[in-house]
């Protein structure tokens, strides 16, 4: 009798152990990001260590930005994405639309020296539903072998088809392109958004874009500009600085970044509203927004951490050993040539500018 009870009890324990292990191992979330070299940096620097530490698996999906897929999932109540890497303006709009979960900054980890997260994040990088990830810049770059003689050095040169003939690459969106156009047309950087606040300023930006429209090849994914430059499809292209950096450093491509007029922006990690995996998603959010995780991304691609304590942890490239600071958008030399992307302006004007840009493209 005792033996039977003992055997029965042992069997129940074994079943419970298997079930509990199965439940733990099946914990997973879907993290959505920009793919390419940046996606690899996040995967190697954050996702793999997170799974090793927590046992929570990460399903990775790539996208090209925007709220359309998040909006569709929330509206029908079938949430497949959990944590998404959004541009700031879209994160704010998504929060306003109720598409994203609120984030309490107090729930995020302190800095390495114990500084509370609220004080460690760079000012303006936290919003109600978003936690700052990394600073990145849209720059333009050229293939040194494709431009003999005098080299471009200013944003105005990007629009100068006479001195620098050939195709240009630009992202198929209005943001950044309008700012570049105004700077190239002579508007001082600190007056760009004041100009865009007027109908005349917007007309001026589109008029400048019109001067090169016939020579533009439009790109949508961040991996495209380096490929277009390497193939000679374009002589210069706007691009994310980290994508060009990786092509330079890891692939020995003869690309040159022009930092003049760079548009410095910041991404945010957000959690999709209504995800049934909220606990796991918030656990991942805390991990990915730690100074250590941001630095691990910055050691693989030249994007600056959104936490003050993150930059000193970056130091050198994890594979090549080169000093990362000169390649960062926020380095003193590069930042002096930057325009800070005004996400608030774009949060208010995105729909209007999208409509006008689409109509302009169709003409």
Could you read off the pLDDT of 258-274 as tens digits, one per residue?
Answer: 999 999 999 999 999 99
pTM for this entry:
0.82
How far does the chain reach from its first CA to its final CA, in angstroms? 88
pLDDT band at 246 (very low <50, low <70, confident <90, very high): very high
- 3-class secondary structure, 77: coil
pLDDT at 12: 41
Could you read off the pLDDT of 292-341 as tens digits, one per residue?
Answer: 999 999 999 999 999 999 989 999 999 999 999 999 998 889 989 999 99
Report the C-alpha gap between 22 and 57 in whole angstroms.
13
Instruction: Break the chain into its structural domains and give their ranges.
Output: 26-135+266-325, 136-264+336-362
Structure tokens that stand for 146 in this block? 């494709």
Answer whether 150's CB lies under 8 Å from 346's CB. Answer: no
Q: What per-residue string of b and e applies to 216-239 under the rule 16 or more CB within 10 Å gives b?
A: beebebbbbbbbbbbeebbbbbbb
Percentage of residues in the chain having pLDDT higher than 90: 85
Average of per-residue pLDDT across 87-104: 95
The two counts, helices (H) then strands (E), for the chain are: 17, 10
Residue labelled with tokens 């991942």: 284
Return the DSSP state at 121. Answer: B
Q: Which residue has the higher pLDDT, 36 or 255?
A: 255
Report the C-alpha gap between 268 and 275 in whole angstroms.
18
- 3-class secondary structure, 215: helix
The continuous run of DSSP H or E covering 115 comes out as none
pLDDT band at 239 (very low <50, low <70, confident <90, very high): very high
Could you read off the pLDDT of 171-194 as tens digits, one per residue?
Answer: 999 999 999 999 999 999 999 999
pLDDT at 213: 98
| Domain 136-264+336-362 class, CATH top level | alpha beta
Q: Which residues have CB under 8 Å from 242's CB, separation 6+?
A: 37, 38, 41, 136, 301, 302, 303
Could you read off the pLDDT of 6-65 as tens digits, one per residue?
Answer: 444 444 444 443 334 444 447 999 999 998 889 999 999 999 999 999 999 999 999 988
pLDDT at 7: 45
pLDDT at 332: 86
Structure tokens that stand for 323 in this block? 């000093």
Report the C-alpha gap between 128 and 96 in whole angstroms.
9
Flag whether pLDDT at 115 surpasses 90.
yes
Q: Are strands 57-62 and 28-33 parallel, antiparallel or unpaired?
A: parallel
Q: Which residues have CB under 8 Å from 266's CB, separation 6+?
A: 88, 122, 124, 125, 132, 133, 134, 135, 136, 306, 341, 343
Calculate the alpha carbon distances from 286 to 117, 139, 301 in Å. 10, 30, 21
| Domain 26-135+266-325 class, CATH top level | alpha beta
Answer whether 275's CB lies under 8 Å from 281's CB. Answer: yes
Mean pLDDT of the chain: 92
């Amino acid at each position: 009798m005792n033996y039977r009870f003992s055997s029965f009890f042992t069997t129940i324990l074994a079943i419970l152990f298997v079930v509990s292990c199965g439940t733990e191992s099946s914990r997973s979330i879907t993290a959505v990001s920009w793919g390419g070299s940046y996606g690899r940096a996040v995967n190697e620097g954050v996702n793999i260590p997170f799974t090793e530490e927590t046992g929570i698996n990460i399903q990775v999906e790539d996208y090209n930005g925007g709220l359309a897929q998040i909006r569709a999932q929330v509206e029908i109540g079938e949430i497949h994405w959990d944590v998404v890497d959004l541009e700031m303006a879209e994160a704010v709009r998504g929060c306003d639309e109720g598409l994203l979960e609120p984030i309490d900054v107090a729930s995020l980890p302190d800095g390495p020296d114990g500084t509370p997260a609220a004080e460690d994040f760079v000012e303006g990088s936290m919003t109600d539903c978003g936690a700052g990830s990394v600073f990145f810049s849209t720059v333009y770059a050229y293939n040194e072998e494709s431009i003999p003689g005098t080299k471009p050095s200013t944003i105005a040169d990007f629009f100068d088809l006479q001195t620098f003939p050939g195709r240009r690459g630009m992202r198929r969106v209005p943001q950044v392109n309008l700012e570049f156009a105004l700077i190239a047309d002579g508007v001082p950087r600190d007056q760009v958004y004041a100009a865009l606040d007027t109908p005349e300023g917007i007309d001026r930006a589109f008029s400048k874009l019109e001067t090169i429209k016939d020579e533009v090849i439009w790109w949508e994914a961040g991996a495209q500009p380096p490929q277009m430059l390497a193939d000679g499809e374009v002589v210069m292209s706007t691009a994310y600085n980290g994508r060009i950096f990786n092509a330079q450093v890891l692939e020995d491509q003869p690309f040159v970044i022009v930092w003049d007029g760079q548009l410095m922006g910041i991404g945010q990690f957000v959690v999709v509203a209504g995800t049934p995996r909220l606990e796991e998603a918030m656990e991942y959010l805390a991990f990915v927004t730690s100074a250590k995780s941001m630095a691990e991304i910055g050691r693989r691609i030249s994007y600056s951490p959104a936490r003050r304590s993150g930059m000193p942890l970056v130091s050198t490239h994890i594979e090549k050993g080169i000093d990362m600071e000169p390649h960062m958008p926020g380095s003193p030399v590069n930042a002096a040539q930057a325009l800070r992307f005004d996400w608030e302006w774009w949060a208010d004007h995105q729909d209007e500018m999208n409509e006008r840009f689409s109509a302009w493209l169709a003409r």
